[in-house]
Amino acid sequence: MEPKISILTPVWNGLPYIKECINSVLKQDFQDWQLIVSDNGSTDGTLEYLDSLTDKRIRVIKQADNIGIMANVNFLFQQSSTALSYILCADDYFIGTKALSTVIKFWQQAPAEVGFVTYNPPLPTVYPIQNLEFQVLPEIIKAGQADIWFLIFGNFCGNLSCMSVRTELVNKTSGFDLDFPSAGDFEFWSRLARLTAMAVQRDDIVYIRRHEKVASNYMNQKGEGFKQHVQIYEKIINALAADGKLNRKELISYFNYEICSYHYRVALKAASKGHFTYLKRLLKAKSAILWPLQRQPYLFSFSLINKRQRLTYPMAQQLLKINQYKPIKYESSNTSRGLWLEN
C-alpha cells in the first residue's frame, strides 16, 4: 500500500544530529510515511549509522560523490513516489509526536490550487519588519501574488525543513536551480509561487537547529550568496514593476536600503577582522537594480545605523499600504525558542 507522504532527508556529515532527526520521524503518531535519505558522501560515520537502520519504511541512498545540497534535494524529489513530500534536513527534527498529523490534516483540507506550504511559527524579534510579517502575511497567497511579500520579507518560507509540497510540482518545474547553490530554496519558492498558490501555516512542528557547521554558514562566508540574491530580486522587482501598481524606483530603493545594506553590514564586520572578499564581491557586482557605484558608499553608513530596521520599516509599511491588511495575532507554542538577536 502506497504511503501518504514522503519525508525527504538530505544529509552530508550529519552526525550526531541525524539520529535525532530520524527518531523524530519514527515517533510520530501518524505512521503512514516513507523516509528517503540521500547521503551526499559523508565521511563522519553517518553511513554506518544509516546502515544500522532496519525500519522497512526507510530507504537510504548513497551518492558516490557530493553533488551539492540543491542537486541532492532534487534527487530526493525524483525518488518520491507519493503525491505529497516534506523536506526534513538532517540537522533538524519534528517537535513532539503530532507534526506529521498536522501536515496531513492541512493537505486534507487545503484548496486544490495550493501547491506548497511553509510551517514557520511567529517568533518575537527586535526587528519590526519581521514582526510585521507575522501581522500581515495572509494564510493563502494566490498564484502570482507573492512577489511583494518576498521583496519585503525576503525568503519568508524559512528553512528547507519548514516546507511541504506537492511532489509533482518540483519535478515538473525542473526543481531547485543548481546555479543558486546557497539561495536555491529562495529562488525556487519565489518562482513556484508565480505558478501556484501557497499557504503559510504558523504551527510549530519542526525545530531548526543552528550550529556553526550549518550549510547557510559555510556556503556564505565570503558573500557567495549576494550575487544569487541580486538575481532573485531582479526577477521579483521586474514582476512587481510590470503590473504598474508599484513604482520601480521605490522597489529598487527598498532593495538597496534593506537587502543590500544588510549585506554591507555583514561585509564590513568581516572586513574589520581582516577578511575583505565579501566586501569586494559587493563592490564588483553589476545589476540594473543595484545603485551605481558612486552611491554605494552611502550604504556603508546606512547599514550601520539601520541594524534594527528603524529606517526601512516605514518603507515596508508604505510599500505594503499596511492599512489594507487585517492584522493577525499569532503566538508561538514552542517555549524553547528564545528572542533572536543579530550577532
Tens place of pLDDT for every residue, the chain, 343 residues?
679 999 999 999 999 999 999 999 999 999 999 999 999 999 999 999 999 999 999 999 999 999 999 999 999 999 999 999 999 999 999 999 999 999 999 999 999 999 999 999 988 899 999 999 999 999 999 999 999 999 999 999 999 999 999 999 999 999 999 999 999 999 999 999 999 999 999 999 999 997 666 555 555 678 889 999 999 999 999 999 998 889 999 999 999 999 999 999 999 999 999 999 999 999 999 999 999 988 888 888 999 999 999 999 999 999 988 545 555 554 444 433 333 333 2
Q: What is the Cα–Cα distance from 187 to 66, expressed in whole angstroms? A: 22
Taking a C-beta distance cutoff of 8 angstroms, is the pair 2, 167 a contact?
Answer: no
Start-end of CATH 3.90.550.10 domains in the chain? 5-217
Where does residue 281 rank: exposed (0-12), middle (13-18), buried (19+ CB within 10 A)? Answer: middle
If one counts every other C-beta atom within 10 angstroms of the C-beta of residue 3, the result is 16
Output the pLDDT for position 343.
Answer: 27
Paired strand residues for 340: 125
Tens of pLDDT, residue by residue over 34-76, are 999 999 999 999 999 999 999 999 999 999 999 999 999 999 9
Q: What is the Cα–Cα distance from 164 to 178, expressed in whole angstroms? A: 20
Q: Which three cell numbers stand for residue 210?
A: 543552528
Tens of pLDDT, residue by residue over 138-176, are 999 999 999 999 999 999 999 999 999 999 999 999 999
CATH fit for domain 5-217, picks 3.90.550.10, 3.90.79.10, 3.40.718.10, 3.40.50.11930: 3.90.550.10
Output the pLDDT for position 93.
Answer: 98
Output the pLDDT for position 213.
Answer: 61
Output the pLDDT for position 300.
Answer: 86
Q: What is the Cα–Cα distance from 100 to 25, expressed in whole angstroms? A: 8
Amino acid (1-letter code) at residue 275: H
Q: Please, which residues have CB within 8 angstroms of residue 71's CB and are 6 or more apart in sequence? A: 176, 178
Output the pLDDT for position 214.
Answer: 58
Q: What is the Cα–Cα distance from 253 to 249, expressed in whole angstroms? A: 6
Q: What is the Cα–Cα distance from 155 to 151, expressed in whole angstroms? A: 8
